[in-house]
Each structure stands twice: as structure tokens, then as C-alpha cells.
Amino acid sequence: MTDIDEVFTAGGPLARALPDYSPRRAQRRMATCVADAIAACRSLLVEAGTGTGKTFAYLVPALLSGRRVIISTGTRTLQDQLYSKDLPLVAAAIGRPARVALLKGRANYLCRQRLFAVTAQRALAGFEGGSLAHIERWAAVTKTGDLAEVPELTDAGSVRGAITSTRENCLGQRCAEWARCHVVAARRAANDADLVIVNHHLLLADLALKEDGFGDLLGTADAVILDEAHQLPDLVTQFFGVEASSRQVEHLLADARTELARVGGDATASTALASVDAALGQVRETLPLRAGSHSVARMAWDEVPVSLETALDVLADALEALHSALAAQGGEAALAHCATRAARLGEVLARVSHAREDEAARTIERDGRGFTLSMLPFDVAPRFRSIIDARPCAWIFTSATLSVGEDFGHFATRLGVADAETLQIDSPFDFERQGLLYLPPAMPDPSAPEYLAAVLGEALPLIEAARGGAFVLFTSHRALARAAEMIAARAEGPLPYPLLVQGTAPREQLLREFRAQGNAVLLGTASFWEGVDVKGEALRLVVIEKLPFASPEDPLVKARIAHLNAVGGNPFRDYQLPEAALALKQGVGRLIRSEEDFGVVAICDPRLVSRGYGRVLRASLPALTVTRERDEASRFLTRRAA
């Protein structure tokens, strides 16, 4: 029988299947701990540094266990890689074939009922020419209904939204197409599989929302492995909160009007629709856009006009009246579902509007198209813990960034898993040889007007020495935009390197261009601090503008700080500092991704050295050689680039 030690030896199955495979003691240690946790149905937190090989370290014991395992990832990219590449390879290498299912969210599958509704009303405007007919031909032959089979169908197109379902508009078992529903079929395949690959959004939606009629995804799981687990605390908070938006109301009104026109609704229903429309407009009027603003503005509840609660109450009452009017039209499934949606939306609006200040953080996002009301709980640990306790299986959380220094307490406390076993595995990379940490001396305070200019004064000579190949990471979109303008203004003629700026193209397109160019400079904010893997010489310099403390003026951060103060906590020690440490570790981790990588990380914020908490932040970083001399950093880059 194949065991863990045999798989990871120099002459073992992985070495025979992968010519470049080299045994790593840390990888084998992680695999053994994962196997023990699965066998004993225990919770385990594993921080595995970059290069550990953590993917194989949990896939091997998952397959060898012979049990039903769910693997959840933070990104679709990793989800697809596991399903298409890593799992087949490992299963073939160790001779353990398994029934594997890849399960996506419902927005990735064709909804047959909604397609039929759209094709019955071809006069509707807004659809791309010919695309609907193309979808109809594909729908007649597809076995999975996965829209990835139609690559020309864009996410932004009007057809995609019209032919997929949401939790709000899905008719569930009342749907005439239930027996042939692609989402139901995908769920059924997942329930029959030995190993199911999902993403965190889908898993948490299943846990928090209890998909009506689709069954419990975790019902028969023996183990749940959560990769990129550092994302979970914020995602769990999001999914255990509640949200209502003007777009949800608009979609409800559109669907209700369509169904009423089809069955011939009465005047009462039409009046109720008009009342909701008018009440929605009144809410919008209480939330005017700031002068000259076309971007999303997030406000705390205490920043909005006092008339908002009154307007929300009117909208909630109008939705309840719509619920009654639609329910009175008869038992037709689609109309009955619209009635249920109206009731739910009204309940959520009332709940958010009348929540206690100590219950949750309430915010409102307003843009040119509408608004979103959110209520996020301050503490999700008890609820998440109850989910774990209700399912007697192994829960394994793994990421390159779970601890602050050597302490897992911040992550474990936020999820209620303080009793879990922990394992910290350092990266096998020789950071001291491969990289340099440059901490510029004599930098102004980050709040000073001249700070950004000083950052560029340090960054541009390093970029020149590296001949491009740089990420410059910012903590705000405003700083990024100003930096892009300043770089362009300083240039005398064309820049000697391609300048890629977040927001000018989709994230994945910018990354493809960065890798292909080899000497590009990319300016990015939060989405480039993590989940970005650029191996090789294309990336040899990472400049971090400022320590990634969340803005205390952000409504959610402000509310959490106020809550911690109210309950006797220390917001900086218990929340702001550990969050910044984990984010900084992610940002620095962009540089060294393989044994051959090299480069410089420049952290321009002087607080890393001048403040006492800088020791906590530095203790969380890889053991890079540290210098305060720009010339030394430039020489390192010049020598390596040459």
C-alpha cells in the first residue's frame, strides 16, 4: 500500500511522474500532518511558505485517505489548475483514481427557464446581434451548461445576465425545467464525487445562505481543505452579513412586469409596482452623489441624511404591498417567486435600517447607477464555529500567510478555531541570498504632502537599475493615479519601459502583458498585493509605497474600531496591526516565487523602523538581507539584471 513517506521520496511516485521533482522534508511533514488531521477529524492550521509545495502536500493525503474531501480555493484560477492539472497528475502518479467534480457558482451555468423566457420575447432590446441564436444552438447540445464552453460570451454582455439565474430569481423545484437544470446536475455530480473542487465564495454561499432545494454541499464530507485560507475571515464576514441593493429591486420589478404581462395581471399589481418604483426613487434622492463624483462612495450609517430611514421604511412597506399583490394573482410559479423576493427584500431593508449600533457595521455604497446597503457583523466566530461543530469532519486551513510572526491567534480568533492544531513551515528559498530588503533612510512622514514625491524619488532610480521588471504597490487608488501622472510628467520623451497602470485594462490582461514584456513597470493597489504569481526575471523589484494599514476613515474600519473600543478591546493591537502584518507579508511575497528568482523589495514607509510596532511587522517578513543604502540596492539589481 502506498503511504505518505513513499510518495515523497527521491524514487517515489511523484519523482517518477515529475522529472524536476525534488524531495522536500517540509512538504512531507505537511502531508503527514494533513493525513493525521483527516484520519482524526481534527482542525489544522498550516502556514506553508512559498515553495513548500503545499498543493501536493494536501492532495496526496486527500487521495490516499479514500474519503470524501472538499477542496475550496480562493480563486477560480487555482480551482481550474487543481481540476485540470494537479489532481489528474497526482492521482495518476500514486495510482489512486478518484471521481472528481468541479463545481462553480450558478452564474456560470445556463438557466434553461430564463433562456426560454428571453427567446419568447425576442423584441427585447439590448442583446448583441446573433449571440442569442448562437446560445440557443449551443443550449440544444451542451451536456454541462457551463458557459465556459462559449468563450465569446463576455461577462459584461447583456445576454449572460439574462440566461443565468441568481438566488433571488431561481424558481427552485417549482421550475418547469428542474429535471433538466444544469445547476442541479452539477450539484448532483458533486454529491456523487469522491473529491469536489469549489471556491470560497461558493462554499460560503452554501453555508451562509443554504441554497434552497440544492442540498447541503458539506453533508457527507469527511474533510474540508481550504487553500488560500487567509481570505476567509473577511469573506465569512461578508457572507454572514446582509445586503440589499437598488439593482435587486430593479431586477425584481423587471421580472414581475414580464410575468404580469404574460399572465395578464390586474390593476392592483400594477399600482403596487409603481409604488415600489416611486419609493426606490425617493431613497435615491436622499443619497445624492457628491459633487463631480462618478465613482463608488462608501459611507457609514451616521454620515447619511436622517431622512434615509424614513425613505427605506416607505420602500420596505411598498415591497410588502407588492408581495401581497403578486401573491393574489394566483399560484403561477414565477409570479409566486417574485412575491417571495419582494417580501425578502423588504425584510432585509427593514433589518438594516433598524439594526442596533452594537450589532453590526452598516454602510451604504452610492454610485451613479444606484446604491447598496450592507450590514456586516462584528464577530463571526461563534457562527462559523457552530458550522464546524455541526459537521464532524476535518477542517484544514492553509496559506502562505496565516500567522503574525509565529502567532496564529489573530486568524484563529476571527474564525473561532483557536483550539485547532497549528503547523508553520518556512519557505525553502534562500531569501538572504536571493533578495534584498531596502529601507530608505530620511523619508518624510507618510502623511506629509511631499511623501509620494519622495517615494518616487527612491523608486525611479531602482527601476532604472533593474531595467524595469517592477511592481510598485500602493495602498490607495488616489496615490496610484497621482504617481502615474508624476511619472509621466517627469519623463523626457518616451519612457524606457512599458508602464502598466491598474484600471486601464483587466487585471489578468495587465499580468499577461507584464510577463510578456519582461521589462514592464506595473502600478497596482490591493488586488496586486496577493494572488499574483510572476516567476522568473520579469519581476525583480517590488516597491511598497506605504504600510498597508486600512484607512481609519473607511466606514467599515471605523465601525470595527468603535466596536472594539466599546467592548474594551485594543483596536490597534487586536485588529489594525495584525491585518497590516498579514497584508505586508502578502505584498513582499510577490517577489521571490522560485529558487531562481532574485530581486529587491523596497518598503518606503519610515514607520517600519521608527515605530515600536515595526518590529512586529518585520518579524512577519522573509529573512531578506536588509540595507539602508540605495546604492547597495541599485548595485544588487544592476549585477543581477546584467
Angle between helices 87-94 and 54-64 (to 10 degrees): 50
pLDDT recorded at residue 293: 45
pLDDT recorded at residue 211: 43
Confirm whether 466 is domain-assigned: yes
Confirm whether 344 is domain-assigned: yes
Amino acid at 396: I
Amino acid at 143: K
Confirm whether 441 is domain-assigned: yes
Extract the C-alpha cell encoding 156.
Answer: 459584461
pLDDT, average across residues 340-360: 91
Which of these three, 394, 425, 456, is where a domain ends?
Answer: 425
pLDDT recorded at residue 410: 95
pLDDT surpassing 50 at residue 292: no
Full residue range of the structural domain in which residue 260 is found: 244-377
Confirm whether 189 is domain-assigned: no
Do 576 and 507 belong to one domain? Answer: yes
Do 150 and 275 belong to one domain? Answer: no
Do 201 and 292 belong to one domain? Answer: no
Confirm whether 15 is domain-assigned: no
Model confidence pLDDT, tens digit, residues 465-519: 999 999 999 999 999 999 999 998 887 778 889 999 999 988 889 999 999 999 9
Q: Which of 64-68, 206-210, 466-470 has the lowest mean pLDDT?
A: 206-210
Query: What contacts 81, CB < 8 A, 6 or more positions away?
Result: none
- Three-class DSSP labels, 21-80: CCCCHHHHHHHHHHHHHHHHCCEEEEEECCCCCHHHHHHHHHHHCCCCEEEEECCHHHHH
pLDDT recorded at residue 155: 62
Task: List, in sequence order, every residue forming a beta bridge with 221; answer none if it has no partner.
Answer: none
pLDDT recorded at residue 212: 43
Confirm whether 123 is domain-assigned: yes
pLDDT, average across residues 119-140: 69
pLDDT surpassing 90 at residue 616: yes
Q: What mean pLDDT is reported for the chain?
A: 89
Angle between helices 477-490 and 451-466 (to 10 degrees): 60
Please answer whether residues 546 and 604 qualify as being in contact, where contact means their C-beta atoms are separated by less than 8 angstroms: yes
Strand order in the sheet with 541-544: 499-501, 521-524, 470-473, 541-544, 599-603, 435-438, 625-627
Confirm whether 531 is domain-assigned: yes
Do 148 and 266 belong to one domain? Answer: no
Query: What contacts 106, CB < 8 A, 6 or more positions away?
Result: 164, 165, 166, 167, 170, 183
Task: Give the predicted TM-score (pTM) of the model.
Answer: 0.87
Do 360 and 406 belong to one domain? Answer: no
Task: List, in sequence order, every residue forming a beta bridge with 472; answer none if it has no partner.
Answer: 523, 543
Question: 291: pLDDT confidence band, cut at 50, 70 and 90?
Answer: very low
Which of these three, 392, 425, 458, is where a domain ends?
Answer: 425
Number of domains in the chain: 4
**What CATH number is given to the structural domain containing 40?**
3.40.50.300
**What CATH number is given to the structural domain containing 321?**
1.10.275
Q: Rounded to whole angstroms, how far apart are CA atoms 207 and 188?
A: 17
What dihedral angle (degrees, nearest 10) is formed by the CA atoms of 583, 587, 592, 593? Answer: 70
Do 180 and 199 belong to one domain? Answer: no
pLDDT recorded at residue 209: 58
Max CA pair span of the chain: 79
Query: What contacts 620, CB < 8 A, 6 or more positions away?
Result: 403, 404, 405, 581, 582, 584, 585
Query: 3-state DSSP helix/strand/coil percent for the chain, to nearest 5?
Result: 50, 15, 35
Do 519 and 630 belong to one domain? Answer: yes
Secondary element (H or E) of residue 471: strand 470-473
More confident residue, 118 or 397: 397
* Residue positions counted in the chain: 642
Model confidence pLDDT, tens digit, residues 518-550: 999 999 998 899 888 898 889 999 999 999 999
Do 476 and 527 belong to one domain? Answer: yes
Do 394 and 407 belong to one domain? Answer: yes
Q: Rounded to whole angstroms, how far apart are CA atoms 249 and 246?
A: 5
Do 616 and 523 belong to one domain? Answer: yes
Please answer whether residues 39 and 65 qualify as being in contact, where contact means their C-beta atoms are separated by less than 8 angstroms: yes
Do 58 and 115 belong to one domain? Answer: no
Query: What contacts 420, CB < 8 A, 6 or more positions away?
Result: 42, 43, 44, 45, 395, 397, 412
Extract the C-alpha cell encoding 354.
Answer: 433598524
Q: What percent of the chain has pLDDT over 70?
A: 94
Do 323 and 396 belong to one domain? Answer: no
Confirm whether 3 is domain-assigned: no
pLDDT recorded at residue 401: 94
Which of these three, 388, 406, 425, is where a domain ends?
Answer: 425
